[in-house]
Structure formats: structure tokens, C-alpha cells
Amino acid sequence: MQLCVLGHRIKIEFLLLTVLLVGSLALRFINLGYSDYIGDERKALLIPHKDQSVQEFLLSQRKGPMQFFVSYIPYLITGDYYNELATRLPFAALSVVSLFVFFLIVKKVSGDSHTAFLAAFLLSVNGFIVGFGRIAQYQNLNMFFSFLAVYLYLNLLSDSRYKYLSSIVGTVCWVLSVLSHWDGAFILPPVVLIFTKFLLQKATSVWHKITIITVNFVVGTVLFGLFFVPYVNNSLQNNLGYLNKRIGLPGTAEVPVIYHIKPLIDLYNPFLTFWFYVALLVVGLVLWLRKKEWSLGFFVAWFIPVFSYFILFFKLPNTHIYNFLIPVTAIIGITLRRLYVDYIVGTKFRKAYVYISVALLLFFFYQSFVIFVDHSKEYPWEQKRILIFKTPAHDKYLVGKILLAPFGFPHERYWKEISMWINEQNTTRGENFCYETNEDKTVSETYMKPEVCGSYTYGAYLIGIKKPMNFVNDSCFLQIGKKKVVKSFRNDSSEVVKIYRVDPLINR
């Protein structure tokens, strides 16, 4: 009888994991190479400046070296940093794997695979996580190594014979997460909770406790110090100005962070998501206050300090708010399961609850697919219809005067083709025309080899991008009078690039 029950559970878990895998792959790998690089993807490529060594390059960045190593792997195979699909593949793969590690964390904490599936599926369809999974950037490494660290640390609370070794490997993973980006520090709350509970275990000797704490501290400090000490000596001072723009004392933000949160969530997860999260988070907190259950308490203790830090100290959070949405999805997953098991009674009500829950999960998946994968229209530059809903116009995503940054959305403006065409024109004509564009320079400079124009004395190409990443409306360069259209590019529905030629003024 027990074997039959165990076999049934294994089949159910296999089915749940299959759904999670198929859904995650679809949202991350379909049309993965469609979009041009966004500006921040260029910053993940290991391309030192002229006469700059690799070491000098790595120590001059605003974050650790891990994303540069990962982006270098496909380059070793293709020899081409401008193969967007190849460059993004390892990051998309890490995004998918991290979801399964998150599944294991929730399962270990809650003891239930259904709960773990609900939490992991909600995380997998969250627009932030989908968007990150479709670009070459550090967030996927942060999640993978941070989740792995938390999972391995949780073994300290089990009877595993390898729990001490597991904790040391967990420390190595945590260091790798921080060396991907400083966001790795945001798993400090659950790590502190795990080690506190470990130190309070009566079955473990004081000697073992002191030993494991000391070894983990030494391993973490040495590994992190190997990078951080030379980094401080070389570049920390240069990056303090940037850090001051993002983080400060309470009350120093031009627009309080609380006002950023809903517009940011709505940009990546429009319609139902924000209020669904708020409602289930509140219910989850109430359930925890009533029963003080360990599984809810673990993720509440993860959420509250991280959320509080963002509210108090961040001036401009941008998409970094995903760090407190991670424990929120776990709280929601646990809450959905607890409501079904403990509070929904009667066959009809239970069926209705299941149907509504499944419908919501499918809607969140479909919403992310339409927004991030389908590019018949490019959201948020163009409005899209999702079932009965129509997305807002992009100017609705303003906080004060700040337009929220789009990451991972479909956006192709043929920058490789533009660069090749202009270089070919310059070579054929024996010219050295510069260029100007209305597109954000972090995008154009990723692809373009000609110099940006300081003036038009020697002639220029004006690259007009319709619906650019920076949302600048003037793609016709109205301030410049005499010019002629020499090239254009179209996507499936409309013209998206128009190149003008401005002849040398000295020949007029």
C-alpha cells in the first residue's frame, strides 16, 4: 500500500515538474534571438578597451566578473559576440535551472511538492523573471547561485550526513552569486535564519557548531576577498557616485520607492498580477500570524527585511525589486495550498477553487508569452491585447519624470544590418562618415563601428529609429533641414528604421 502511495506521489511530482519545464522553456527559448541587445547586455560582454588587460577590465566594472565568464563561453564556440541567440543561451538555461532549485527550496521548507510547484510556476511566469531569462545579464546567475546556496544551507537543519560539506558548498555558491552582482546579498535574511536555527539545535554539539561557522566564514571571506580586495583598490571609489544615485539614507529619494513598485510590476506583469500578489500576500501574512507555521515564517522572514531595505534605502530600484518578489511568490504558493487543504470545504467549492487557480496560472503564463515571446507587436512600444485586456500606452509607465526601463521585451531594429550597410557605404565611397541616432547610445554603440558625430562637417548618416528603446519620438531629425533618405528597414508590419544622408557641408 505504501509503495502504491509513493509511486502515485512520484508520478504527480514528475507531471508537475514536466509542466514547469515545458512552460519555462517556452517562455525563455522561443524567439530568444529576435531582439537586438539592450544596452545592459553589452555590459555583460568581455570586451576590454584598447590596451586594457582582462584583469583591468574586470576590476573596472560596477559588478563582479561572473557574467563576463558566462557570456564568454558561447564566444569561444562562435567567435562572435554579436550572435544574440548564442550569447543568451547559457543565461536562459540558468534561468530555467534556477526555477527547479527554487522548487526544491520550497519543497524542503514546506514538505509538499504541490506547494513547491505553485511557487515555482508563479516565479517562472513572473514578467521580471521571464524578461531576465531572455537577456544576457547577471540576474540569472544571481538567482541560480543564491537559490543553490539557500538549498544547500537548509541541509544544516536536516539529518543529512553531508550537511556540513553541503553548507561549505553553499557558501561557495553564495560568493559566486555576489560575484555575479551585489544583489546576492539579498539572501542574507534566510541564511541568517537557517544558521540561527542550526545554532539552537540541541542535538548538535557546540564544537560542531563553532567549527562549521568558522569554516564557512573563512571560506567565504577568502573567496570573496580574492576579488573584492583588488576591486576596492582599483575601482570602488570610481563607482561610489553611481551607488549614491541608487542608494541613500531614508527620505533622500526624489520619488519614494513605494511609488515605483506598482508601475514596475504593471510594466512587466500588467492587469491582474499586482492585486493578486497583494491579496495573497496579505492572506499569507494573516495565516502566518495565526499559526506561526515554519514554512510561511521562513519566507516572511526573507521578504520583510528585503522589502524594508528597498523602501528605506533605495532611491531608484528599477527591476531590482524582483529580489523581494522571490519570497512573495513562495508565500503565495504556500497560501494557495493552505487555503485548499485547511479552509476550502465541500467538493463543489474545492473544484471551483482548483478551476479558478488553474485559470489564473494559465492566464499569467499566456500574458508573459504574449508580452515577451510573441513579437507581432512589440510591447510596451505598441499596445497589445491579452484576452479582454488591452495594455496601457508606454507613457503610462512614468514615475515622476522617470520612464521605467524595459528589459527582455521584443525589440528588433536591425542594428547589425545598419552597421554593416554604413560601413560598406563608407568603404565603397572612400568616405569616413560619422553617424547620429535618436536611439539610446548604449544600444547603438554596441553595434556601430563609425564614430558618433561631433559635427556634420565631414558628412553624416542619421539613423532614425521608430519606437526606440529610450522612447524618443523624433526619428526624422526635424532640426536638420537638407538630408535625403538612403536606406530603410522594415519588420513584418511597418518601417522601423530610416537612414538619412547629410552631405559634407564643406562641399556646399
What residues contact 427, with CB distance under 8 A and at least 6 apart? none
Our CA dihedral for 20, 23, 29, 34, rounded to 10 degrees, sits at -150
Q: What is the pLDDT of residue 471?
A: 82
Do residues 348 and 430 both lie within one domain? no
Statement to judge: residues 210 and 262 lie in one domain: yes
> Does 32 reside within a domain?
yes
Give the pLDDT confidence score for residue 507 in this predicted structure: 40
State residue 3's pLDDT score.
57
CB-side neighbour CA atoms (13 Å) of 54: 6
pLDDT at 363: 96
Give the chain's mean pLDDT. 89
Total of domains in the chain: 2
Q: Is the pLDDT of residue 508 over 60?
A: no
172 with 307, same domain?
A: yes
* pLDDT for residue 432: 81
pLDDT at 276: 96
Mean pLDDT value of segment 267-292 = 94
Place of cell 539592450: 38
Using the predicted structure, report yes or no on whether residue 218 has a pLDDT greater than 60: yes
pLDDT computed for residue 141 by the predictor: 96
137: three-class secondary structure by DSSP: coil
Domain boundary among 373, 405, 432: 373
Distances (CA, A) of 269 to 329, 380, 389: 13, 11, 12
Q: Looking at the domain assignment, is residue 403 inside a domain?
A: no
How does pLDDT run across 130-179, given as a tens digit for each residue? 999 999 999 999 999 999 999 999 999 988 788 899 999 999 999 999 99
| Domain ranges, residue 444 | 415-507
Q: Is residue 287 part of a domain?
A: yes
Q: Is residue 387 part of a domain?
A: no
* For residue 318, pLDDT beyond 90: no
Q: Which of 318, 342, 373 is a domain's end point?
A: 373
How confident is the model over 472-488, as a mean pLDDT? 82
Write down the pTM of the prediction: 0.93
pLDDT tens profile 79-128: 999 999 999 999 999 999 999 999 999 999 999 999 999 999 999 999 99
Indicate whether 331 pLDDT > 80. Answer: yes
Tell me: do 183 and 306 sit in the same domain.
Answer: yes
Beta strands in 170-224 (DSSP E): none
The Cα–Cα gap between 256 and 449 comes to 40
Which of 131-135, 187-191, 234-238, 321-325 is predicted least confidently? 234-238
Q: In whole angstroms, what is the distance from residue 267 CA to residue 270 CA?
A: 6
Q: Which of 35-44, 115-124, 238-247 has the lowest mean pLDDT?
A: 238-247
Domain for residue 424, yes or no?
yes
- Same domain as 441, residue 360: no
The reply to whether 222 and 122 lie within a common domain is yes
Whole-number pLDDT of residue 506: 43
> Of the candidates 373, 395, 426, which is a domain's last residue?
373
196 and 252 belong to one structural domain: yes
Read off the pLDDT of residues 335-377 as tens digits, 9 standing for 90 and up.
Answer: 999 999 988 888 899 999 999 999 999 999 999 999 999 999 9
Residue 410 has pLDDT above 90, yes or no: yes
Q: Pull the grid cell for residue 39.
A: 544596452
